[in-house]
Amino acid sequence: MRRPLSRRLTALVSAALLLPALASCGNDEEDAGLVIYSGRNENLVEPLLDELEKAVGTDIAVRYGDSAELAAQILEEGDKTNAGLFFSQDAGALGALSTQGRLKKLPESSLDKVDKAFRGSEGDWVGTSGRVRVLAYNPGKVTKVPDSVHELTKPEWKGKVGYVPTNASFQAFVTGMRVLEGDEATRSWLKGLKANDPKVYENNLKVLEGVGKGEVSLGLVNHYYWYEQVAEKGEDEVGAKIHFLPGGDPGALVNAAGVGILKGSDQAPVAQKAVDFLLSKKAQTYFADDTKEYPLAAGVTSKVKDLPPMESLDAPKIDLGKLESLQETLKMLQDVGMV
């Protein structure tokens, strides 16, 4: 039987170092055949991990938390970590572990299932699902939706933009902008956005609801929140609509959730089975149909109504592994007063 080990993390971020505050999970982890550190939200992936447990044929234990904090925990634990598999919400945390040599190289049979854009350049992590940054907008308040996040610093959007500066996806987007346009340009944009008095929300869903209610005209979110709400309530009840940004804009970043096997773990064989399950048709269909994300393994396509095909997106070209410089992004966000 799988033993859920979730807890609300209270780790603080210092100027130069993430300080994880993860409790020891004791015998639950020690007794499991596979321990997974999961940066993916428990509500999103618990049903899938129930199926994964059946597929790998052994008990698993899952420690849930923030991806960056879990990655920092793995680095701190080193070879003494209980984990065999890291299931990250974003590529940056996987890139951080890859840079420090903490991930085991994956077999080509696993890597070849996913486009090179969504796997580590060292062949030690692979994407499992993708999500796109979009602009949510209220059609009753917006006649022309901006085609770039750079437009959000203009006077006409003062006090009309909602966002979540503490959210990992927003921070990954900012890191992507730093990679694409440099630190100076990114800092300037953040200062301009802050000066334009954006409304801070608790999470992406609250942003979407705020846009729908007309609290703000625009919101920075991930695409799947809108599709989940439409599936649950119907498009007329959601209020907001979403706009996929063109022209390789940094606001159109396609990030990937993914997995890596921890180097030195004696759980590597069962962890490899878990990787293969997450790239299987069953798991990829779950990401497509249940979480409304983009499946990344070849052979599975989303059937979600009105979701643009991945190949039609005009996303920025970026090595997702370079999103690992989160500490610098957090320092920048602190400097401009956003977190």
pLDDT tens for 7-34 read 323 332 332 333 333 433 444 787 779 9
Q: Indicate the average pLDDT of the chain.
A: 90
pLDDT of 333 strictly over 50:
yes
Q: CA 80, CA 35: separation in Å to the nearest integer?
A: 13
Mean predicted confidence (pLDDT) in 249-271: 96
Residue type, 321: G
Q: How far apart are CA 204 and CA 26, in angstroms?
A: 33
First and final CA of the chain: distance in angstroms? 39
* Among the listed residues 73, 76, 91, the one whose alpha carbon sits nearest the alpha carbon of residue 37: 73
Residue 116, pLDDT > 90, answer yes
Question: What pLDDT, on the 0 to 100 scale, is given for residue 29?
Answer: 82
Average pLDDT over residues 218-245: 96
- Residue 14 has a pLDDT of 34
Q: Is the pLDDT of residue 2 over 70?
A: no
3-state secondary structure labels for all residues of 4-53? ECCCCCCCEECCCCEECCCCCCHHHHHHCCEEEEECCCHHHHHHHHHHHH
CA dihedral 174, 178, 180, 185 (to 10 degrees): 100
pTM of the model: 0.87
50-80 burial by CB neighbour count: b if 16+ within 10 A, else e? eebbeebeeebbbbbbbbbbbbbbbeebeee
Structure tokens at 282: 């069953």
DSSP string, 153-205: GSGGGTT-EEE-TT-HHHHHHHHHHHHHH-HHHHHHHHHHHHHT-PEE-SSHH
Q: Which CA distances in Å does 8 have to 63, 69, 263?
A: 11, 12, 27
43 CB burial (10 A radius; 0-12, 13-18, 19+): exposed
Domains and CATH numbers, the chain: 3-129+256-310 (3.40.190.10), 131-253+326-335 (3.40.190.10)
Please write the tens of the pLDDT for every residue from 145-202.
999 999 999 999 999 999 999 988 999 999 999 999 999 999 999 999 999 999 999 9
pLDDT at 210: 98
Interval 276-300: pLDDT, tens: 999 999 999 999 999 999 999 989 9
Distance from C-alpha of 267 to C-alpha of 30, rounded to nearest angstrom: 11
Pairing of strands 60-64, 34-38: parallel
